[in-house]
Structure 1
Amino acid sequence: MTPLGMDAREEQVFRYLAANPRTDLETLVDRFGAEAADALEGLRRLGLVSGEPLDVRRPDQAFQRLVREKEAALFAAKARVAELQEIYDLAHRPGSTGPVVLLTSRTQLQACMDELELSAAQTLDKFITDPYIPLTNVHTPGDDARRGEDGTIRMPRRRVLYEQAVVDDDRALEGIRNTMDLPNAEIRIAPSLPYKLIIADGERALVPAYARDHDDKLSTHLITRGTELIAHQMVFEQCWTAATPLAGGNELLNEEFSVEEKHIVGLLVSGATNERIARILGAGVRTVQRRLTDLQQRAGVRSRNELIRHAATRWMN
């Protein structure tokens, strides 16, 4: 299970708990030694173990997120290889200008991001990753900058996927709230994302030129066609499917819940605290607490953890 982030001892402990539910830590230490405590902590970080006495989640559910994250990372790696291959081919093809333009200045990147944001007519897909660095203005639903030549407001179908760390960043609050207010907008949250990404109308994409751990955080490729654009769209679709809905695009929640409740459920399942939910929604913490109490009564559960499980398995599936 090493590819999923588990070492050998963690897998031993997980196997034991799967066969022996409601085991206490003392029993694990007696069986596996002092390393059992470290193994248990690792399993908790992966979201595989909970409770006291200890119990494990169903493997088919517990490992689903980890497998999807690895699949997304593999898709991302394939996309980068395809991009590098096309760049190589273009550089070795006489007289070719190619579909990839390298942006190296903040001014270039800001202008291109704004152009994609405001000119998209049909679809706009975005990865928002940590660290969150706002480079363009937040354009409200009625902003004149969104108007086309005929004077109508452009409102494409918008799918924005936020990395969890961005949701916890106060600098992103204005952007998140604005996206919630935009027509045709859907928001989802993922524990992690492979890289920053913007795709407009499936025809143009902005992708970092280097991996996330590279010192150069600014250089970005504008891709206008080719196999790498298709590959990045595939990565987006994979990550989007695996993410937790926060707003829009979920008919079950739209029918059964108010807009505020729908946002609270999405943030709750994504792991946000009451205080964070309140800040994102611009509501009071007591208001959020009351809404959560109402949701617990509706779900027929008594605790926050039970409500999260119920929401994830019943309301959002």
Structure 2
Amino acid sequence: MLEFVGLNERSELVYRSLLSLGAATPAVLGERLSLPVPLIRHALAGLEAAGLAAASASLADHYVAAPPGVALAPALSQRRHELHEAERAVEALAEEYRRNGAAVSGVADLVEVVTGVSAVRHRFEQIQLGTEEELLALVTDAPVAVRAEENDAEDIVVARGVIHRTVLSRASLAESQVVAQLALALGRGQQVRVADSVPTKLIIADRTLAMVPLRRLASPGEPAALLVRAPGLLEALIGLFEQCWRLAFPVRFSSDGGLPVEELADQPDHVDLQIVSLLLAGLTDASVAKQLDLGLRTVQRRVQRLMVLTGVTTRMQLGWHAYEKGWVAR
């Protein structure tokens, strides 16, 4: 977190320990952090050089931490200045690109074709990391360049608090690891829905930039994608997403089930909730068993138990009861 002032992870741990202790010897810090004293002294030397720590004037072989607000303020000010200059440089480059593009084509800055696995993957990551407020996505069962478990940029964006809405095609749930990724996404606050079918893969960042795959435009086996900034096209793509979102079924289960421990005796556990959610999303008993790594008879037995628990005689009634009980979202 403090890499911007040149601190590595060990030095940051030592600085945080000093802040909490007030003053400490290298030996005490080493015991607290389970690190050899020579490594602690090396970290302290780096902290002294950065102005974040100093030897105590009153206690022998003790070190004290400098107040963060004072010690880190110059570095923060410099970083803000560098960021401002970088923004100005990007704006100047963008303006030059618009001028040169307009001389060649009136739509040079409105659409762009990206070809090749590496290029598509890079732009997909750029779009996500550049999102500030809202990220919309349609997901089909055929990855273009990045599989769900490979999308590290998504974790970073979600951690920043970006609103993330995704519509999955039901067929995509058959993909390996998708249900595990779905549970993780729901557990960290992402909004996910499942639709019978999704017309195309799509990602829209802040309603100002979209990326759509292009089929068979490049050489065989080589993916291609279209980046869209044109307002009219963006409105159409946003409308497509919102229509898919309205027609899709909300999926709400998390890795821990989201239920208090004391209620588990009279309520479904997290596996039950996953089973109900996937059944309501349209999966068969066999598909649910495969996705959750359960036996088919186990799934059927759990469904029967839920029917007894709710006092219903059909699965349709069980689905209605699941809504009424708040086990799944309407």
> TM-score by structure 2 length?
0.53
Label 1:134 to 1:178 Cα distance change in 2 as closer, same or farther (>3 A). farther
Partner of 1:156: 162
Structure 2 CA distance, aligned partners of 1:144 and 1:127?
A: 16
Moved more, 167-176 or 124-133: 167-176
CA separation in 2, counterparts of 1:171 and 1:156?
A: 23
Which position in structure 1 is the counterpart of 2:223? 218
Structure number with higher relative contact order (C-alpha < 8 Å, ≥ 6 residues apart): 1
Partner residue, 2:250: 245
| Matches of 1:309 and 1:217, distance apart in 2 | 46
Gaps of 5+ in 1: 1-89
Question: What is residue 29 of structure 2 aligned with on the other side?
Answer: none
Q: Structure 2 counterpart of 1:240, which letter?
A: W
Which residue of 2 is the match for residue 233 of structure 1?
A: 238
The one-letter code of the counterpart of 1:295 is: L
Residue 127 of structure 1 aligns with which residue? 138
**Alignment partner of 2:117 out of 106, 119, 122:** 106
Aligned residue-pair number: 217
Q: Which amino acid aligns with 1:110?
A: R
Matches of 1:298 and 1:167, distance apart in 2: 28
Who is 2:171 aligned against? 165
AA at the equivalent of 1:129: T
Give the deviation of 1:159 after TM superposition. 1.6
Whole-Å Cα distance in 1 between the matches of residues 221 and 238 of structure 2? 24
Partner of 2:198: 193
**Aligned twin of 2:128:** 117
Residues 297-308 of structure 1 mapped to structure 2, 5 A cutoff: 297-308=308-319
1:221: how far off?
Answer: 0.7
Q: Which amino acid is the alignment partner of residue 219 of structure 1?
A: A
After superposition, give the CA deviation of every residue in 1:101-150 in whole Å (9 maximum; x if it has no partner): 1011111111122223344332222111133456256368xx698558xx
* Greater shift in the superposed pair: 272-281 or 107-116: 272-281
Q: 2:288 aligns with which of 277, 283, 291?
A: 277
Query: Considering only aligned residues, what root-mean-square deviation do their CA atoms show, in Å?
Result: 4.1
2:168 partner SS: strand
The CA distance in 2 between the partners of 1:139 and 1:205, in whole Å, is: 20
1:40-68 CA deviation, whole Å, 9 max, x = no partner?
A: xxxxxxxxxxxxxxxxxxxxxxxxxxxxx
Q: Is the 8 A contact 1:156 1:184 kept in 2?
A: no
1:266 alignment partner in structure 2: 277
Distance 2:201 2:290 in 1: 24
Q: Give the letter aligned to residue 221 of structure 1.
A: L
Alpha carbons 2:268, 2:306 under 8 Å: kept:
no
State the TM-score, normalizing by the size of structure 1: 0.55
The residue that corresponds to 1:203 in the other structure is: 208
Contiguous gaps of at least 5 residues in structure 2: 1-100, 261-266
1:225-253, Cα deviation, whole Å (9 max, x unpaired): 4111121111111111111111279xxx9
Larger radius of gyration: 2
Instruction: For 1:190 and 1:139, locate their aligned partners in 2 and report how far apart those are by CA, in whole Å.
Output: 23
Are the counterparts in 2 of residues 118 and 146 from structure 1 also a CA contact under 8 Å?
A: no
Match of 1:56 in 2: none
Amino acid at match of 1:153: A
Could you report, residue by residue, the CA deviation over 1:235-287 in whole angstroms, capped at 9, with x for unpaired residues? 111111111111279xxx99997655443322111221334334434566566
The letter of the residue matching 1:209 is: L
Q: How much does 1:195 deviate?
A: 0.9
- Offset at 1:205? 1.2
